[in-house]
Amino acid sequence: MSRTTPLRGSLLLVPALLLTACSPPAGEGADAPGSAAEGAALDNCGHEVPLGAPPERVVSLNQGTTEILYSLGLQDRVVGTATWTDPIMEGLEEADEGVPRLAENNPSFERVLEAEPDFVTASFVSTLGTGGVAERERFEELGVGTYVSPTDCAAGKDNGGTGDGSRSEPLTLDVVYGEIRDLAAVFGVEERGEEVVAGLEGRVADATADLDSSGVSLMYWFANSEAPYLAGCCGAPGAITRAVGAENAFDDTHDEWPQINWETVADRDPDVIVLGDLTRESQTAETAAAKIDFLEGNPATRNLTAVREERYILLSGQAMNPSIRTVEGVEQVAAGLGELGFGG
């Protein structure tokens, strides 16, 4: 069972913008409907996404893509959302008001079609794949465009097997920025996309300025107390860890979220434990409070250095997935390390 069941979750090569016709000169046509050159398209996870008339009715099947669409000011075009692990990102509450939630997890294919979308977005290959809402081809056969976050399909990400996949290359924030630019191009709001990216880059720079966390080991726990899902080397937690200059206690595994026993955790004895604070209820120890209760009461974990010293940093589930909120994760881990006496 995947760590995000019934979601499947989980930054590498920025998706190339494959233009089959010349783009308009810089500054011309930006943010205008249909501003992309005729015949232009995105190469997205093996599917071609035309860049012509911007979609008018989009269903976002994962919280990550929903928050990007809202950040681009496209909430008036969102006719349905699904698959939520956390409250909406701070600052986007008003954008989310009145937008229908088709389901807290994966909706049915029929439920999505009832919203009459002309475009569907997802954060994970599995959402628009076998066992998910439907395969991309089913939507495309009906004339509904699709887009999947490149954070889950770019070079180095292997989604085979029954878990959350593995990466042969470290995730970088550039692919999150690439997703923002992709969706901005699809909807004809390129200027707004650049503003969002610049803001995120500035936040990372501010959070990590003069930060020195070398030698500090971090362990990221997403959920499940019996067989915990802990972050491997190269997903969103890896990007956060590298940004703050620390070390990942399990950087020797390329699995996205391997299930690791508590005896192995005790052997690694991380300096700080980063806890996913989830609001869903699909697995054990979803909230940070439940995780702390377990850590402090379980014989295998209560003597960990981080537990004895109460060295905890709390993150949303979305910050632990490759998403626009991974930047929030950088800020919160950097601040948490400072509060714990590290990173100065």
Tokens of 318: 């979305």
Q: Which of these ranges, 48-62, 114-128, 148-162, 309-323, has the smallest mean pLDDT?
A: 148-162
CATH superfamily of 17-205: Nitrogenase molybdenum iron protein domain (3.40.50.1980)
pLDDT tens, position by position, 95-122? 999 999 999 999 999 999 999 999 999 9
pLDDT tens, position by position, 181-206? 999 999 999 999 999 999 999 999 99
Q: How confident is the model at residue 126 (pLDDT cuts 50, 70, 90)?
A: very high
H helices present in 209-269, as ranges: 236-244, 262-268
pLDDT at 61: 98
Q: Which long-range contacts (CB under 8 A, 24 or more apart) does 139-146 make?
A: 140/47, 142/113, 143/118, 144/117, 144/118, 144/119, 144/120, 145/49, 145/50, 145/55, 145/118, 145/119, 145/120, 145/186, 146/47, 146/49, 146/119, 146/120, 146/121, 146/122
Say if CB 332 and CB 313 are below 8 A apart.
yes
Closest CA to 15 of 46, 55, 37: 46
CA distance 300 to 211: 32
pLDDT tens, position by position, 270-315? 999 999 999 888 888 999 999 999 999 999 999 999 999 999 999 9
CA distance 171 to 167: 8
Say if CB 46 and CB 19 are below 8 A apart.
no
Residue with tokens 């054990």: 284
Say if CB 183 and CB 147 are below 8 A apart.
yes
CA distance 133 to 117: 14
> What is the CATH T-level fold of the domain 210-339, as seen in this structure?
Rossmann fold (3.40.50)
Tokens of 138: 């089913």
- pTM, whole model, 2 decimals? 0.86
Pairing mode, strands 166-167 and 145-148: unpaired
* CB half-sphere exposure, 230, CA atoms < 13 A: 22
Of 15 and 91, the structure prediction assigns the larger pLDDT to 91
Please say if the pLDDT value at position 141 is more than 80: yes
Q: pLDDT > 70: what percent of the chain?
A: 88
pLDDT tens, position by position, 314-334? 999 899 999 999 999 999 999
Burial 24-53 (b: 16+ CB within 10 A, else e): eeeeebbeeeebbbeebbbebbebebebbe
Indicate where the chain has its CATH 3.40.50.1980 domain(s). 17-205, 210-339
Please say if the pLDDT value at position 220 is more than 70: yes
Which residue type does 296 have? E
Q: Which long-range contacts (CB under 8 A, 24 or more apart) does 295-299 make?
A: 298/225, 298/262
Give the mean pLDDT of 240-244: 96
pLDDT at 3: 54
